Amino acid sequence: MYDYTDFDERFVRERVAQFSQQVERRLDGSLTEEEFRPLRLMNGLYLQLHAYMLRVAIPYGTLNAAKMRQLAMIGARWDKGYGHWTTRQNIQFNWPKLPDVPAILTALADVGMHAIQTSGNTVRNVTADHFAGAAADEIADPRAYAELLRQWSTDHPEFQFLPRKFKIAITGAVHDRAVIRAHDIGLQVVKNERGETGFRVLVGGGLGRTPLIGMVVRDFLPEADLLPYVEAVLSVYNVLGRRDNKYKARIKITLHETGKEEITRLIEERFEELRPLFGGADQALLEDIRDAFAPPAFRNAPVTAFDDFYKSDPVFRAWADTNLAAHKNDQYAIVTISVKEQGKTPGDMTSAQMELVADLAEKFGHDDIRISHEQNVILPHIHKGDLPALHAALVQGGIATANVGLISDIIACPGMDYCALATARSIPVAQEIAVRFKELDLEHEIGPLKIKISGCINACGHHHVGHIGILGLDRAGVENYQITLGGSGAEDAHIGDKTGPGFAYDQVVPAVERIVRAYLAERDGPGESFLDAFRRLGMEPFKAALYETGDAKDAA
């Protein structure tokens, strides 16, 4: 785990001290809300529908037991005993009271955490593949680069007032688990034909009201050029990006308005100017950082306990089949703890469950914990021999749901249950879909299927890249849900296609059921996933199932 430097520590403590005074001055009336609002947003504090919300960054989704315990403590002491994992590898607390926020930020600083740059037109939390450093298919651990980017972008004087927020994601594997193609900058660690490490660089991806897949601007950027190149992208964007219209301010629009060729030329030109200025200090820093991400001391021991349980215990087997992923050390597995129990709120974890995860990470998991953009929690390094004991403990704690990657493993944004920008609810839609397919006992038969739900056009729930995407809208004062099919956030990234007219709140679950039944009827055997079937069949059979066989008034 990377530990903060003295500089980081001082910077974070100073910000907490400043903000504590600002809160005091707001409470005693010396600051107006107009003056205070930008200050609280700089510190991750939003005002939502029913309360404040504090957004805390989890850099590249990595935690250890001490940090997790502190989040559990904060949830128990200042919130309502839980926290919400988000698609940007942050945690959100939904019920902090304004006078308590300085104490919460102090508690975070005690474990090297903060809420800086989780809001505003800055470089946001750099996200990474949640299997980083563990995945069998990885070329290199992307987190060292993510940390380098974090240090460079934190409080960077030139980039505190960008035209709009700026999101960077990085993966070290070909299989994209970090949705890099839907970020302002997406980075993929690659090797060139000489075996040297570098990056494929994508620019201009993003969701929201104008969803676009990022374009490749460099097939191979040498490792040493990372910071000057990213700085060149930001610096071109900082000048060209539109500040007159916030809907046209993201770099994806700049890219489309300027043209890929011209923008690439400008980036390369700026890059040539910047490169000599970096002078190697960044590379020395990278070497230091890399040490902090060295792999843990893997144990060499028999895995017979796993094989025995796998053969004899069907509950364990079902969990192992969905919740484990291949580790680079074949005695090990990557464990995804599902935070998607059917009927519960996607991504909400209680303080007691966080404590349990912290204990298990220490006992079995080399003190390493990850938060995924899919709102689940990961123990990346578990020896297979320990899996039965780990599973038993998760069952005890109520977090052994065996559904990772299945239809009930839904991403849902807070929607109108919390978010002030929402046009409709998303959480209850997710709850009802998950419960319905559990009742039907169809989840495992359906196989891999990603449903993603947003409560407004901002697309925090990634609905455009869901195999089934659901977008909640307000149509003349009534909740109405638009469905898209065939989206993907992986290496085959694609924006889903609209099925047609939207559905009333109580018609969404039946609509999803008709889509899924059409898939089951048409698929080329269980080996053909929903996404593959959709790509082969196109929209027609699904449209027919949605709008023709059903009662016409369903599709209001």
Partner 1 sequence: MSRRFTPKVVTANRLREGDVVYLTADDRWTLVHGEAELIEDEAHAQLRLLHANAQGRLIVGAYLADAKPGPNGPEPTHFREEFRTRGPSNYHHGKQADLDHV
Q: 456 is in the binding site of which of ligand SF4, partner 1, ligand HEM, none (Cβ under 5 to 8 A by kind)?
A: ligand SF4
CB-based contact 153:145 (threshold 8 Å): no
Distance CA(41)–CA(509), nearest Å, equals 36
Q: 208 is in the binding site of which of ligand HEM, ligand SF4, partner 1, none (Cβ under 5 to 8 A by kind)?
A: ligand HEM
> Which residues, at least 6 apart from 390, have a Cβ–Cβ distance to it below 8 Å?
335, 360, 364, 379, 382
Binding of partner 1 at residue 29 (CB under 8 A)? yes
Distance CA(202)–CA(229), nearest Å, equals 12
**Spacing of C-alpha 297 from chain mean position:** 28
CB-based contact 225:272 (threshold 8 Å): no
Residue type present at position 174: V
Binding of partner 1 at residue 446 (CB under 8 A)? no
> Interface residues for partner 1 in 98-157 (CB under 8 A)?
98-99
Nearer to ligand HEM, 176 or 386 (CB): 176
HEC string for 404-450: CCCCCCCEECCHHHCCCCCCCCCHHHHHHHHHHHHHHCCHHHHCCCC
Binding of ligand SF4 at residue 347 (CB under 6 A)? no
Q: 95 is in the binding site of which of ligand HEM, ligand SF4, partner 1, none (Cβ under 5 to 8 A by kind)?
A: partner 1
Beta carbon of residue 120, minimum distance to ligand HEM (angstroms, whole number)? 11
Q: Among 107, 190, 421, 490, indicate the residue that binds ligand SF4 (CB under 6 A).
A: 421
Query: Whose structure tokens read 């493993």?
Result: 409
Distance CA(512)–CA(466), nearest Å, equals 13
Beta carbon of residue 95, minimum distance to partner 1 (angstroms, whole number)? 7
CB-based contact 127:57 (threshold 8 Å): no
Q: Report H helices in 202-350.
A: 226-240, 251-258, 260-278, 281-292, 304-312, 314-323
Distance CA(315)–CA(312), nearest Å, equals 9
> Interface residues for ligand HEM in 91-150 (CB under 6 A)?
92
Q: Is 52 helix (H, G, I), strand (E, B) or coil?
A: strand
Q: 478 is in the binding site of which of partner 1, ligand HEM, ligand SF4, none (Cβ under 5 to 8 A by kind)?
A: partner 1
Distance CA(486)–CA(542), nearest Å, equals 11
The one segment of 49-57, 143-151, 219-227, 389-397 that binds partner 1 by CB under 8 A: 49-57
Q: 206 is in the binding site of which of partner 1, ligand SF4, ligand HEM, none (Cβ under 5 to 8 A by kind)?
A: ligand HEM
> Interface residues for ligand HEM in 207-226 (CB under 6 A)?
207-208
Beta carbon of residue 433, minimum distance to partner 1 (angstroms, whole number)? 14
> Which residues, at least 6 apart from 428, have a Cβ–Cβ distance to it below 8 Å?
417
Sites of contact with ligand SF4 (CB under 6 A):
413-415, 419, 421-422, 454-456, 458-461
Sites of contact with partner 1 (CB under 8 A):
26-29, 32-33, 47-52, 80, 94-95, 97-99, 345, 416-418, 422, 425, 427-428, 431, 474, 477-479
Sites of contact with ligand HEM (CB under 6 A):
46, 48, 53, 86-88, 92, 164, 167, 206-208, 250, 413-414, 418-419, 421, 458-460, 462
